[in-house]
């Protein structure tokens, strides 16, 4: 049973909001593609894990802080906890167990990466720390590295037999996990559903200040409402809706995504004046009507409109 399904990560949502509002920025585009590939890889592995979701308890995108551990997937059974770390590489990858690194070979070029096995071992230790804080230190933990692209060639310098017990293509993950499960002996079955919900309650959403990371300020962002037809930030407020002067697309709710972008990139509250500036409208009363209809809450003490958490989740999950 999947109790925490896969969702688009908050940081990917932020990059998708940021890119259309920036000029060309190679560093931002590179980071965006890293998150896109990561999410695409997780979706591929998610498809295979769903084949076993009625048997076990599965959580995706688990972030526990403290101790500050991020895991792509947790699979909980009556016998153990399994960490699944997803990697989306193309071409050929070589696990160099002597030098403790991963090497990708693609297009005649070699690129080195940190060893995912080291990352997974650290995740295991941090998860043990969290379990100990809950008086659950005796639960065995194992991990797998799932290579999402079935066309990726996997090689190894070192003990290939032991690596093959941990590293696998995503489509083979359910079989590998079941094979491992059958080798584990336990005196007392784990109440994995109960534990899964306890982990779920403790989960936080990993976030960082993206603007600070890329040395950006709100002044670097293009204002305006994006056209759902052509994507340009040029929609005009006409009567009670929006019209694109480029492609003539009309919309009643185009401002919703613009406000969601503001909350993702700038700050979690907005004034009437900031709304007019961001949406490029002149009328104070129009801005008020938009804010009221957007499910925002007016904080009289701060004279600011603040986002309604459940409403913004729906916006951001799209």
Kindly report, residue by residue over 29-45, the tens digit of the pLDDT.
999 999 999 999 999 99
Which of 265, 257, 259 minimizes the C-alpha distance to 208? 265
For residue range 273-306, list pLDDT tens digits in order. Answer: 999 999 999 999 999 999 999 999 999 999 999 9
Bridge partners for 169 per DSSP? 147
Rounded average pLDDT over 142-151: 98
pLDDT value of position 23:
87
Position 186 confidence tier, pLDDT thresholds 50, 70, 90: confident
Q: Residue 228's pLDDT is what?
A: 97
Q: pLDDT-based confidence at 166, cuts 50/70/90?
A: very high
Share of the chain above pLDDT 90, in %: 92
Span 60-104, pLDDT tens digits: 999 999 999 999 999 999 999 999 999 999 999 999 999 999 999
Coil/strand/helix, residue 279? helix
pLDDT recorded at residue 318: 41
From residue 138, alpha-carbon distances to 127, 134, 280, 312 in Å are 12, 11, 58, 39
Give the per-residue pLDDT at 309.
58
In this prediction, residues 216-243 reach a mean pLDDT of 97
Average pLDDT in the 147-151 region? 97
173, 150 Cβ separation under 8 angstroms: no
**pLDDT(313) > 60:** no
Helix (H) or strand (E) holding 105: strand 101-106
pLDDT(136) > 90: no
Complete domains list, the chain, with CATH: 2-202 (no CATH), 223-317 (1.10.10.10)
> Angle between the 255-265 and 10-18 helix axes, to the nearest 10 degrees?
110
Query: What is the rounded distance in angstroms from the CA atom of residue 227 to the CA atom of residue 249?
Result: 7
Paired tokens of 292: 């009221």
**Both tokens of residue 235?**
């929609």
């Amino acid at each position: 049973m999947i109790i925490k399904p896969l969702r688009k990560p908050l940081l990917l949502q932020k990059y998708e909001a940021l890119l259309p509002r920036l000029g060309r920025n190679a560093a931002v585009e590179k980071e965006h593609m890293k998150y896109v590939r990561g999410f695409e890889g997780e979706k591929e592995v998610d498809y295979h894990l769903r084949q076993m979701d009625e048997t076990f308890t599965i959580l995706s995108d688990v972030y526990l802080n403290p101790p500050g551990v991020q895991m792509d997937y947790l699979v909980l059974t009556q016998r153990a906890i399994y960490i699944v770390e997803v990697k989306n590489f193309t071409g050929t990858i070589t696990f160099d167990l002597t030098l403790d690194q991963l090497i990708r070979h693609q297009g005649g070029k070699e690129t080195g990466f940190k060893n995912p096995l080291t990352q997974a071992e650290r995740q295991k230790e941090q998860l043990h720390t969290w379990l100990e804080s809950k008086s659950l230190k005796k639960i065995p933990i194992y991990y797998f590295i799932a290579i999402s692209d079935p066309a990726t060639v996997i090689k190894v310098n070192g003990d290939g037999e032991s690596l093959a017990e941990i590293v696998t293509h995503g489509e083979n993950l359910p079989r590998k996990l079941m094979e491992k499960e059958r080798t584990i002996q336990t005196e007392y079955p784990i109440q994995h559903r109960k534990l899964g919900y306890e982990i779920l309650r403790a989960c936080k959403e990993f976030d960082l200040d993206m603007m600070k990371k890329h040395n950006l300020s709100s002044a670097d962002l293009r204002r305006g409402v994006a056209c759902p037809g052509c994507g340009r930030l040029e929609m005009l407020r006409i009567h009670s809706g929006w019209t694109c002067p480029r492609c003539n697309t009309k919309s009643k709710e185009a401002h919703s995504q613009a406000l969601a972008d503001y909350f993702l990139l700038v700050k979690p509250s907005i004034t009437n004046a900031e709304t007019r500036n961001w949406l490029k409208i002149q009328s104070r009363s129009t801005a008020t009507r938009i804010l009221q209809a957007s499910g925002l809450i007016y904080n009289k003490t701060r004279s600011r409109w603040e986002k309604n958490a459940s409403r913004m989740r729906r916006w951001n999950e799209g």
